[in-house]
Amino acid sequence: MSDKFDVIVIGAGPAGYVCAIRAAQLGLKTACIEKMQNSEGKGVNGGTCLNVGCIPSKALLDSSYKYHEVSKGLEKHGISVKGVGLDVPAMIDRKGAIVKQLTTGIAGLFKANGVTSLFGTGKLLAERKVEYTSSDGEVTILEADNVVIASGSSPIDIPVAPVDGEVIINSTGALELQSVPARLGVIGAGVIGLELGSVWNRLGSEVVLLEAMEDFLSIMDQQIAKETQKILKKQGLDIRLGCRVTGSEIKGRGKSKKVEVTFQTADGQEAKETFDKLIVCVGRRPYTENLLAPDCGVALDERGSIYVNERCSTNAPGIWAVGDVVRGPMLAHKGSEEGVMVAERIAGHKTQINYDIIPNVIYIHPEVASVGRNEEQLKQSGEPYKVGIFPFVASGRALAADESEGMVKILAHADTDRVLGCHIVGPSAADLVQQVAIAMEFGSTAEDLALMVFGHPTLSEAVHEAALAVNGHAIHIPNKRKR
Ligand code: FAD
Ligand code: NAD
């Protein structure tokens, strides 16, 4: 192996591997270093997203939803199903097979694009040198014109509930349970808590979520958050807001081990709950352990993220950083786009990212998705806005599918009519919100969206009607705003 590269990427998650592939496509001699190993001790690409994040969680969400549908949800359709069984280890194995298929797929993509894939640990030294320690301990000093740090993030631990990997687990442990816990506690009713709480709730656990904040999904549009909370309550998720966990104690031995959690309720009372398993999912932090030599010249910001500008350039020349390790939402697609931008800028292009239009999805059922600004943010900014809402209960396609919970909400500028945000709870919200994201990228007004022809009967018609409702022209609901 030659030790000099045009680009060295540290980390092969969705930010790093995408960056490496794009750099190689642009003719740059590229290496990507990854330290993660699979259960067999072999190096594996794909990072959190493919191994213990987006993909495995969605595999379990889909499997658990199928189980829920056949065991509880088809009578209305005139279909009765008897004797439904559940094989949790088989479900977990299916998830594992998907992870394996996708992670080996990255190895194939690296090969096809000419990326040098190196398994082991990378450490940034001064002068764009990287100390590479291979999986078998051999140390090589590599050099590059550009180094891209894509080392990702790790779960935040809290001393009041230390993860033991057995009874108290984090998201990774919650993707590996081999049986359904009778009572499952979740600390943090954020994205992971809701997604993984939903998986195990559908499979039969009694799920209690303890959330420190008094508002549910406090950073989301609150109308959509409240609707979501109602829907989740109906599904049986016990979401307790304003609850601050103060301690935990493991009780019992062997298979009968449980955890007793002590917490302060919203009205200041001390309370206790006992769970068979407890998932701690209170956020993630940027991961920079053993990554930066003291003289490498890269600065961190006050939150421990690698400091970068809008173009993902750090304060050290030729050193870039992308994905969860830098500011902004910790989302796979945000990191991947940063990876592409950096590869293209290294190659001399002027690529930019529109950070105002990054969709965000919670993959519960129905899905919750948003893009752009929400009503609370617009109120705070003082910008004049108008709102169009269309409930799925008025959508023929949603009723036909028995998926009529939720709504589409579109916000547009009161004077220019330009679309400023879209917030959806409802069937296929992730895909519907993307339609509005595309429109926003092209500077669309609500009227532009309203003038488009949408196929019938589709769920997308709810987006059309919400856009019509912005200016009081909705057809299938009475308009609040008349024109
Ligand atoms: P990572 O994916 O964390 O990859 C970083 C890689 O760098 C890791 O493989 C790590 O081993 C490696 N590394 C670190 N340091 C070194 C070093 N010194 N040398 C070599 N290698 C190193 N996001 C979504 O957009 N949609 C979802 O549905 C979604 N679901 C999620 C579900 C769960 C349960 C979790 C935990 C996360 C989810 N996320 C989701 C978030 C998403 O996984 C992350 O935003 C994304 O993986 C970040 O990509 P990244 O490349 O920046 O970092
Ligand atoms: P989160 O920030 O979404 O939610 C954490 C929740 O825990 C918050 O509501 C917070 O108020 C609460 N909390 C914090 N400390 C607490 C405490 N001591 N007691 C009780 N509650 C407490 O974080 P997460 O759910 O851990 O997910 C981490 C990140 O992973 C997300 O922010 C997101 O970027 C990414 N992710 C994305 C997806 C997706 O896109 N669908 C899915 C999973 C994870």
Q: How many domains does the chain have?
A: 3
Whether residue 353 lies inside any domain: the answer is no
- Asked whether residue 60 is domain-assigned, the answer is yes
- Ligand 2 center to 155 CA (angstroms): 9
Q: Which ligand is nearest to the CA of 246?
A: 2
Residue 132 shares a structural domain with residue 258: no
Residue 483 domain-assigned (yes or no): no
Q: Residue 36 — φ and ψ, nearest 5°?
A: -65, 145
**One domain, residues 455 and 313:** no
The response to whether residue 197 sits with its C-beta less than 6 Å from ligand 2 reads no
Would you say residue 475 lies in a domain? no
Q: Are residues 449 and 320 in the same domain?
A: no
Cβ of 212 less than 6 Å from ligand 2: yes
**Domain boundary at 307, 322, 346, which?**
346
What is the Cα 71 distance to its own chain's centre? Answer: 28
The C-alpha atoms of residue 109 and residue 154 are separated, in whole angstroms, by: 26
Q: What angle do CA 300, 304, 309 make, to 5 degrees?
A: 45
Tens-level pLDDT at each residue, the chain (483 residues): 668 999 999 999 999 999 999 999 999 999 999 999 998 999 999 999 999 999 999 999 999 999 999 998 798 899 999 999 999 999 999 999 999 999 999 999 999 999 999 999 999 999 999 999 999 999 999 999 999 999 999 999 999 999 999 999 999 999 999 999 999 999 999 999 999 999 999 999 999 999 999 999 999 999 999 999 999 999 999 999 999 999 999 999 988 999 999 999 999 999 999 999 999 999 999 999 999 999 999 999 999 999 999 999 999 999 999 999 999 999 999 999 999 999 999 999 999 999 999 999 999 999 999 999 999 999 999 999 999 999 999 999 999 999 999 999 999 999 999 999 999 999 999 999 999 999 999 999 999 999 999 999 999 999 999 999 999 999 999 997 665
Residues 230 and 99 in one domain: no
- State in Å: Cα 90 to ligand 1 middle: 25
Distance in Å, CA 156 to ligand 2 centroid: 9
Give the position, in ligand 2's atom list, of the atom nearest the Cα of 331: 34
| Residues in the ligand 1 pocket, defined by CB under 6 Å | 10-16, 33-36, 47-49, 53-54, 57, 121-122, 150-153, 171, 192, 287, 291, 323-324, 330-333, 335, 363
Is there a catalytic annotation at residue 77?
no
Of ligand 2's atoms, which has the minimum distance to the CA of residue 210? 20
Report which bound ligand comes closest to the CA of 188.
2
Q: Is the CB of 283 under 6 A from ligand 2?
A: yes
Q: What number of other Cβ atoms are within 10 A of residue 2's Cβ?
A: 9
Closest-lying ligand 1 atom to the alpha carbon of residue 363: 28
Give pLDDT, residue 2: 63
Question: Distance from the CA of 399 to the center of ligand 1, in angstroms?
Answer: 37
Best residue for ligand 1 mutational test, from 9, 17, 38, 48 (most atoms within 8 Å of Cβ): 48
Taking the centre of ligand 1 as the mean of its atom positions, its distance from the CA of residue 156, in whole angstroms, is 14
Q: What is the pLDDT of residue 439?
A: 98
The CA 325 to ligand 2 mean position distance, Å, reads 16
CA–CA gap between residue 435 and residue 317 (Å, rounded): 38
Residue in the structure block whose two tokens are 């950073």: 219
Q: What is the CATH number of the domain that holds 398?
A: 3.30.390.30
Question: Parallel, antiparallel, or unpaired: how do β-strands 129-134 and 116-124 relate?
Answer: antiparallel
pTM above 0.95, yes or no: yes
Last residue of a domain, one of 250, 265, 282: 282
| Distance from residue 282's CA to the centre of ligand 2 (Å) | 5
Dihedral sign from CA coordinates of 395, 396, 397, 403: positive
Residues 376 and 322 in one domain: no
Q: Where in the sequence is the domain holding 422, given as residue range(s)?
A: 360-470
259: in domain: yes
213 in ligand 2 pocket by Cβ < 6 Å? yes
Residues 304 and 436 in one domain: no
The answer to the question of residue 226 being in a domain is yes
CATH number at residue 263: 3.50.50.60
Q: How far apart are CA 1 and CA 269, in angstroms?
A: 63
Rounded distance, CA 186 to CA 239, Å? Answer: 9
Q: What is the radius of gyration, based on Cα positions, of the chain? A: 24
Q: Are residues 290 and 269 in the same domain?
A: no
Same domain, 15 and 146: yes
Residue 340 and residue 367 in one domain: no
Does the CB atom of residue 329 touch ligand 2 within 6 A?
yes
Q: Give the active site residue among 423, 456, 464, 476.
A: 456
Query: Any idea which ligand is nearest the CA of 363?
Result: 2
Q: State both tokens at 230.
A: 């109602």
Q: Is residue 134 part of a domain?
A: yes
Identify whether residues 146 and 291 lie together within a single domain.
yes
CA nearest ligand 1 atom 41, residue = 331
CB 186 within 8 A of CB 174: no
Predicted pLDDT at 481: 63
Does 112 share its domain with 211? no
CA of 289 to the centre of ligand 2 (A): 21
Last residue of a domain, one of 282, 303, 324: 282
Is 478 among the domain residues?
no
Which residues lie closer than 8 Å to 279 by C-beta, 6 or more apart? 169, 170, 171, 173, 174, 184, 185, 186, 187, 192, 193, 196, 197
Which ligand is located closest to the Cα atom of residue 214? Answer: 2
Q: How far is CA 272 from the centre of its chain?
A: 30
Write the DSSP string, 88-154: HHHHHHHHHHHHHHHHHHHHHHHHHHT-EEEEEEEEE-STTEEEEEETTS-EEEEEEEEEEE---EE
The answer to whether the CB of 45 falls within 8 A of the CB of 117 is: yes
Q: Both 373 and 444 in a single domain?
A: yes
* Best residue for ligand 1 mutational test, from 9, 45, 49 (most atoms within 8 Å of Cβ): 49
Phi, psi for residue 194 in degrees, rounded to 5: -75, -40
